[in-house]
A and B are shown apart, each in its own frame.
Chain A
Amino acid sequence: MSDKDDTERVHLRVDRLAAAMDAARARARGEVPAPAPGNVGEIPASQPSLPEASDESPAPPNPTAPAAPFGNEDSGAPAMEKPAPGIGPAGSSYPHEPEPAWPVPTQPDSAQPDCQPQLSADADLSGQADPPGDAPQADVSAASVPQDGTVPDPMPGDAAPLEPLPDATAGPVPAEASHSPDPGSDPRTEPLILTPDFTAPPPRPSLDPLDDRTRADFPAAGPIGAAAAVPHPAVPPAPRPAGPVLLSLEGVRTDIGRYHILGDVGFDVPTGAVTMLLGRNGVGKTTTLRTIMGLWRARSGEIRFAGNRIERWPTHRIARAGVGYVPESMAIFGDLTVAENVALGSVSKRVPTDRLDWLFSLFPPLATFWRAPAGNLSGGQKQMLALARALVQKRRLYLIDEPTKGLAPTVVDTVVAALRDLKLQGATVLMVEQNFAVARALGDRCVVMDDGRVTWSGVMADLAQDAALQTRLMGLSLGVDA
């Protein structure tokens, strides 16, 4: 991507952000429908936890923070009922569709008939209720790219209505911004689709001492954590899965250094299903996987795998018990050949040939570069190798951390097809995934985390069909094309 494109995109985002702020002010003046009561009810859930914040950030006349609505009712709902082409419900032909995995531009009038020029800004403010194709349309037209119904730039993040921008709307104190009930004005409300040029999110607010106090004020009250302990009309926790459970976490707390990363994590991973671990950046998803793997030690809590308490086991024993791990960093051994990397993944001395043939059919580049040093592979090929290294041995559970992170769309298709194949074999998978389209396509169940706690768990389809729920749980702006 050229610098010019980047510059244009930044300008566009700034423009859209400014328009969004205008719209917010208009709303505050009462020109736009009132906020949805159900959503406003969530405000007390996080606000009282920050009594000191108001001292440090005396910005009461900020109209966007308390008064701005989610706007789901007026703009999100119609879009909800109209799935975007190419992205069907879970189990659809997602990887085989020619369309990419992010919202595809549609005609704005069909998506939102009653909004005019300010449509883009309005939708941006409402954040999660961004109709499909709205923002891309703005991008496409402004960048003078042919409007042929495809997204020419392979960066899915272009569909983002708002990139995380400096605290233009968030007020002077980031911690308060993170607790703001208005996702439209929250810079962390980036879409869950990661892009190769994704910029780092703002610092994780829970690393702030302020937030530690917050957590101390809300000792966890069960597997759902503090968010559920505060009375508000949130979704009740979905019942734990009915079938056999392979892995279960109960009250797991993990510290890294002096930071409390996992506050109280509890969920079940049913046997033979794909469980998705969702949540924004920095909420503890990777730490959860590393804690299961024994790479971080849980300070307290129980981790049960196949009937055994494994939270005190050394990492190699957990792996030997049948847990395959694909870390976020991929952790390829660059000095070793592709063959040697795969051989290390096989516990038995000889790599099983049937599994190898299967892996070659999934990831042809691995056969091509079988004897080449793995350090010379491209990023996508390294991800294929990381997956192959975990899959070459049949394991009882696979922990897969963001397998599509930073990959080109075609490689994402390859990876998703492989994971679907794995799923069809009846494998048990716990997977972190930021790309909600991928998560929806693969996941059977879903666990949503926020701030080191599980805030929701249940059936993936329930979450995929409920944009309001996505909004509430993850500040997910892409749910509208469900």
Chain B
Amino acid sequence: MTGTAAAGLTAPGAGARIGAAMPWLLVPLLMLAGLLAMTVQAMPGEGETLAALLADPGLWPLRAPAALEAVLASWVTLTLAGLAMGMMVFLMASGLTLIFGLMDVINFGHGAFVSLGAFVGVSVLAALAGWMAAPSLPLNLAAVGAAVLAAMAVTGAAGYAFERVIVRPVYGAHLKQILVTVGGLIIAEQLIYVIWGPAEIYISRPEMLKGAMVFGGVALETYRLLAVAVGLAVFAVMGAVLRLTRIGLIVRAGVQDGEMVEALGYRLRRVFIGVFVTGSALAGLGGVLWALYQEVVTAHMGADLMVLVFVVVIIGGLGSVTGCFLGALMIGLVQNYTAFVEPKLALVSTIAVLVLVLMWRPTGMLARDRGRQS
């Protein structure tokens, strides 16, 4: 081998390494930015305006410690709320990003599985009202677990049918996919009206998951902790499956170049059906958790959430589960911080994050390397 060929791999410089780690750093950076914004907002005393205070740097050291102390508890609460919301959005979005990455299928019907999962879960929880009301954590968790399992089973099966009936005939035709999957979403919503009726259904959380735990004066809502734990667990399991198993290897390769995976002898279609069913089931899981978070379910909740889910999939990079995870956390945090600091901005904060990320990385934070490079 000559030098030219052997020197093909160059060690990445510090800049490149920071660039690679940047999506991971963005989440803690956002947390710090949130804390800073909240502190600054709390700094003005009685009768002071923020502009007057900012114009006088000499006052900052006097006011900052007190302001920081005042907002710290709120910041922890908001951060946990943001993380919990991000985890639930991640559950709904992770399947969508793999479905797109693997087979280039744009599934606007994904929200239907969120709604369906929520209604199935709520029905199961209603049936298990005794377990829900009991002041026993194991019983409460068993009820939630049963609801989640039922929801995932139903949405997984629905995903299989959706893939066979609706998605399969339109492989490779993006416009048709959009039209047909939106149609599927409408049909699913109407079916929910037929089965569960048009009214929204209210549900209260299990007894032991209501309220908050207090750590050192900071109240942490129990249910949010549960949502974060579930989200982290799903992310870890997905990562392990993708990294360590042969199916995961095929999925990661298929996201880059499905044709070559087929040419190596793998039935990518079968793998894709598995991914579609798994993604639908995860959407159902997200739906149950979201229903208990909001304590109300509606037939169009999935479609409403799809805006957030698509933003997360896009800023994460189509086909990247990790990007989807980080994007979901970022969106959750930004929404909660802006809702606290400047409620009017909360509506546009999601779009602002989307715009900024795409200006920085036009294909998303962790876009796949789509093969065909030579």
Residues in chain A within 8 A of chain B (CB atoms): 293, 295, 314-316, 319-320, 325, 327, 329-336, 340, 343-345, 347, 349, 364-365, 368-369, 372, 375-382, 389, 406, 408, 410-411, 414
Is B259 part of the contact surface with A, judged by Cβ < 8 Å? yes
Could you list 10 examples of A-B contacts with CB < 8 Å? A295-B259, A314-B262, A319-B264, A331-B372, A333-B252, A340-B253, A343-B249, A349-B246, A377-B8, A410-B4
Q: Are B374 and A329 in contact (CB under 8 A)?
A: yes
How far in angstroms is the closest Cβ of chain A from B271?
10
Q: Contacts of B2 on A, CB cut-off 8 Å?
A: 408, 410
What per-residue 1/0 map shows which CB atoms of B1-40 lie under 8 Å from chain A? 1101111111000000000000000000000000000000
Known contacts being A333-B257, A364-B1, A365-B6, is A319 close to B263, with CB within 8 Å?
Answer: yes
Closest to B2 in A: A410
Q: Contacts of B264 on A, CB cut-off 8 Å?
A: 319, 325, 344-345, 389
Q: Are B8 and A331 in contact (CB under 8 A)?
A: no
Known contacts being A334-B371, A335-B252, A343-B249, is A377 close to B266, with CB within 8 Å?
Answer: no
Q: Are A344 and B250 in contact (CB under 8 A)?
A: yes
CA–CA, A333 and B368, complex, Å: 10
How far in angstroms is the closest Cβ of chain B from A411?
5
Is B125 part of the contact surface with A, judged by Cβ < 8 Å? no
Q: Contacts of B371 on A, CB cut-off 8 Å?
A: 329, 331-334
Q: Are B8 and A381 in contact (CB under 8 A)?
A: yes
Q: Are A329 and B372 in contact (CB under 8 A)?
A: yes
How far in angstroms is the closest Cβ of chain B from A359?
14
CA–CA, A320 and B266, complex, Å: 8
Partner of B1, one of A295, A347, A365: A365
Q: Contacts of B4 on A, CB cut-off 8 Å?
A: 378, 408, 410
Q: Are A347 and B8 in contact (CB under 8 A)?
A: no
How far in angstroms is the closest Cβ of chain A from B167?
18
Top 7 A-B pairs, shortest CB-CB distance: A378-B8, A319-B265, A334-B369, A331-B260, A315-B262, A320-B265, A333-B253
Q: Are B8 and A365 in contact (CB under 8 A)?
A: yes
Known contacts being A334-B369, A410-B1, is A316 close to B267, with CB within 8 Å?
Answer: yes
How far in angstroms is the closest Cβ of chain A from B269?
8
Q: Are B374 and A379 in contact (CB under 8 A)?
A: yes
Q: Are B268 and A316 in contact (CB under 8 A)?
A: yes
Q: Which residues of chain B in 228-267 are interfacial with respect to chain A, using CB atoms and an 8 Å cutoff?
A: 246, 249-250, 252-253, 256-257, 259-267
Q: Are A375 and B373 in contact (CB under 8 A)?
A: yes
How far in angstroms is the closest Cβ of chain B from A399?
9
Q: Are B5 and A344 in contact (CB under 8 A)?
A: no
CA–CA, A377 and B4, complex, Å: 12
Closest to B255 in A: A335
CA–CA, A316 and B266, complex, Å: 5
Partner of B5, one of A336, A343, A347, A408: A408
Q: Contacts of A408 on B, CB cut-off 8 Å?
A: 2, 4-5
Q: Contacts of A377 on B, CB cut-off 8 Å?
A: 8-9
CA–CA, A364 and B5, complex, Å: 11
Q: Contacts of B1 on A, CB cut-off 8 Å?
A: 364-365, 410, 414
CA–CA, A377 and B268, complex, Å: 26
Q: Contacts of B267 on A, CB cut-off 8 Å?
A: 314, 316
Could you list 7 further interchain pairs (A-B, Cβ under 8 angstroms) beyond the known A315-B259, A382-B374? A334-B373, A343-B249, A345-B264, A349-B246, A375-B373, A376-B8, A381-B9
CA–CA, A315 and B5, complex, Å: 33
How far in angstroms is the closest Cβ of chain A from B69?
46
Q: Contacts of A315 on B, CB cut-off 8 Å?
A: 259, 262-263
Q: Are B249 and A344 in contact (CB under 8 A)?
A: yes
Which of A344, A349, A376, A414 has the most chain B CB atoms inside 10 A of its CB?
Answer: A344
CA–CA, A334 and B7, complex, Å: 18
Q: Which residues of chain B in 259-302 are interfacial with respect to chain A, using CB atoms and an 8 Å cutoff?
A: 259-268
Which of A335, A345, A376 has the most chain B CB atoms inside 10 A of its CB?
Answer: A335
Q: Are A380 and B5 in contact (CB under 8 A)?
A: yes
Q: Contacts of B260 on A, CB cut-off 8 Å?
A: 327, 331, 333
